[in-house]
A = this chain, B = another copy of it.
């Protein structure tokens, strides 16, 4: 299991992990994101190659492929949660707050979009558990908007959330396919999402 911490919190009696190890773990996680984005079944060899490391070294830090994939998704979701939280979903008019959060998330989460494909084969409960950090931030905003009459209340907030994520992913796909320009996609996404929820 990789340490998520950055510095001086090693357990008493244990030595701290060396700096090069820390660097390797980061390289592996970055490489895994890139590799898995292009191919959800990317091999450990491919990930190691991208990280500029040898396959055995990857296994030093992540005992199995599954452990690595889990670490990658956990980190991606944590990053998303951080960006969303920074956009303050609890502040201001619900529609405006949603637009603000959406724009912030859109700009910073590009590379993680393809990781969704990995999670689709996980058990439902596990999937939900991993997304809790993000859902926990957005769900109150949706509910708040529903209470204020800004968002439809005839469908559950969870539905709105799923549709929102789907539209974001689809928008990213349209952009990648070149069927819409980078300048237009954000505005189109915002209007479509707000229309879908309102």
Contact = CB atoms under 8 A, between A and B. Distances in A.
B166 A162 contact: no
Contacts of A63: none
B125 A121 contact: no
A188 interface: yes
Nearest to A125: B177
Contacts of A178: 124
Interface stretch (A69-77, A83-91, A149-157): A149-157
Given A120-B117, A176-B124, A155 B188 contact: yes
A134 interface: no
A171 B165 CA distance: 11
A136 to B, nearest CB: 16
Nearest to A158: B179
By CB atoms of chain B within 10 A, which of A120, A191, A198 has the most? A120
Interface of A: 39-41, 116-117, 120-121, 124-125, 127-128, 152, 154-156, 158-159, 162-163, 165-167, 169-171, 173-174, 176-180, 184, 187-188, 191-193, 195-198
- The 9 A-B residue pairs whose C-beta atoms are closest, nearest first, are A166-B170, A196-B196, A155-B188, A124-B177, A166-B166, A195-B196, A192-B196, A195-B195, A117-B120
